[in-house]
């Protein structure tokens, strides 16, 4: 079977990881990446001979407005224009800044008849389906335009969907302790304060869009850290059913994209996960799984409460690979699609 040809628009925090993710999929071909300026990320890629994950050659295409001379000055080879890339792929992964993806869809994807998957920063209106690999995979099958949930919503839905499939969930109340910026970002400034957002959070609303049978609400607090978010969830089962810690833990332990950990092991907070990922040798210190503290699982009447860490830079990559599989029809069911993604990204290997 011919490999699915994939392009990536935007080689920033998410785009780099999307390109690496595609390069690891044995049934996909990374045709190229596209960007506007010769960033440090592209300069680093040039120093590696434009070789990325799995030894794959990363061909670079320039989007409208790019100054090709600036790339020549940095000795970064250019393979062609964004239009050239779009005409040679089956599907584009759009990780351009919010709003740019919608313009790309209008000016390129629709024009050349190419499917596209947008990241969480884009408006929901850009896509046919608001997508999550586990919660509504089948709705994305064969669709032209899918949009991923944000990093926090992705992790949140993993846990709620896990419990919902096992026991049936009626409602959740969430609190998000949100990192203020990605490592290396300066545009938000240096902060020494916590900042509240108006409730309910968009993550709660997004969860209900994908899982309309679950009533969700939540609070979000911005924190002056960069290595991951922490989310707490209070979950209520349907029909007054009691959820015990043992029931929840058994379900979480079975989920390939949930890593259950303890404080005693040394997982004291968000930085512990980042350091552990580096010690594992994971590229850029990435981790595809969320880290859920067994110590945090407590019973409150019939409800269950738990907390988990969200590695915001890499968490949406597996679900994006799922989206490619659904949109192109590589696999038509959640079980088949997520299993293949997990296999090629080596997700859940620690459970074996």
**Residue 303 pLDDT grade (very low, low, confident, very high; cuts 50, 70, 90):** very high
At 120 the pLDDT is: 85
Compute the mean pLDDT over every residue in the chain, rounded to the nearest whole number: 95
Each residue's pLDDT tens digit, 208-236: 999 999 999 999 999 888 888 999 999 99
Each residue's pLDDT tens digit, 66-120: 999 999 999 999 999 999 999 999 999 999 998 999 999 999 999 999 999 999 8
Residue 265, pLDDT > 70, answer yes
Residue 259, pLDDT > 80, answer yes
At 55 the pLDDT is: 94
**Residue 185 pLDDT grade (very low, low, confident, very high; cuts 50, 70, 90):** low
Q: How far apart are CA 238 and CA 58, in angstroms?
A: 49
- pTM for this prediction: 0.95
Instruction: Name all domains of the chain by residue range, CATH numbers in brackets.
Output: 4-149+316-351 (3.40.50.720), 151-310 (3.30.360.10)
Residue 189, pLDDT > 70, answer no
Read off the pLDDT of each residue in 281-299 and give the average, rounded to a whole number. Answer: 96
At 188 the pLDDT is: 60
At 351 the pLDDT is: 73
Contacts (Cβ under 8 Å, ≥6 apart) of 77:
46, 50, 60, 71
% of the chain residues with pLDDT over 70 = 96
At 86 the pLDDT is: 98
Each residue's pLDDT tens digit, 9-61: 999 999 999 999 999 999 999 999 999 999 999 999 999 999 999 999 999 99
Residue 191, pLDDT > 70, answer no
At 190 the pLDDT is: 57
If you search the block for the tokens 């313009």, which residue do you land on? 103
For the question of residue 151 being annotated catalytic, the response is yes
Integer CA distances (angstroms), 214 to 130, 134, 157, 236, in order? 16, 15, 11, 9
If you search the block for the tokens 């409602």, which residue do you land on? 171
Q: How far apart are CA 216 and CA 207, in angstroms?
A: 7
Catalytic residue among 135, 151, 321, 326: 151
200 cis-preceded (ω within 30 degrees of 0): yes
């Amino acid at each position: 079977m011919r490999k699915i040809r994939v392009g990536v628009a935007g080689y920033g925090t998410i785009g780099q990881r999307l390109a690496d993710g595609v390069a690891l999929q044995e049934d996909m071909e990374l045709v190229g990446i596209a960007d506007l300026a010769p960033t440090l990320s592209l300069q680093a890629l040039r120093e590696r001979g434009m070789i990325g994950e799995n030894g794959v050659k990363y061909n670079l295409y320039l989007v409208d407005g790019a100054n090709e001379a600036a790339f020549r000055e940095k000795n970064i080879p250019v393979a062609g224009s964004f239009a050239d890339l779009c005409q040679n792929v089956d599907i584009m992964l759009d990780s351009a800044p919010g709003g740019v993806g919608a313009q790309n869809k209008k000016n390129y994807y629709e024009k050349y008849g190419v499917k596209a998957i947008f990241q969480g920063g884009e408006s929901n209106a850009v896509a046919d389906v608001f997508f999550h690999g586990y919660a509504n995979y089948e709705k994305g099958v064969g669709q032209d335009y899918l949009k991923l949930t944000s990093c926090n919503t992705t992790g949140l839905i993993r846990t709620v969907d896990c419990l919902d499939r096992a026991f049936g969930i009626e409602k959740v109340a969430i609190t998000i302790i949100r990192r203020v910026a990605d490592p290396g970002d300066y545009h938000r400034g240096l902060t020494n304060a916590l900042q509240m957002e108006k409730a309910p959070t968009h993550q709660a609303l997004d969860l209900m869009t994908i899982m309309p049978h679950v009533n969700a609400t939540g609070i979000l607090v911005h924190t002056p850290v960069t290595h991951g978010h922490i989310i707490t969830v209070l979950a209520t089962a349907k029909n007054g059913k009691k959820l015990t810690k043992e029931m929840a833990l058994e379900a979480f332990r079975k989920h390939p994209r949930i890593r259950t950990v303890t404080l005693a092991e040394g997982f004291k907070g968000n930085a512990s996960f980042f350091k552990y990922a580096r010690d594992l040798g994971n590229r850029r210190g990435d981790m595809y799984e969320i880290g859920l503290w067994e110590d945090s699982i407590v019973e409150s009447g019939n409800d269950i409460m738990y907390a988990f860490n969200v590695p915001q830079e890499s968490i949406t990559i597996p679900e994006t690979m799922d989206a490619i599989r659904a949109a192109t029809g590589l696999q038509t069911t959640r079980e088949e699609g997520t299993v293949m993604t997990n296999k090629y990204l080596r997700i859940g290997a620690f459970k074996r």
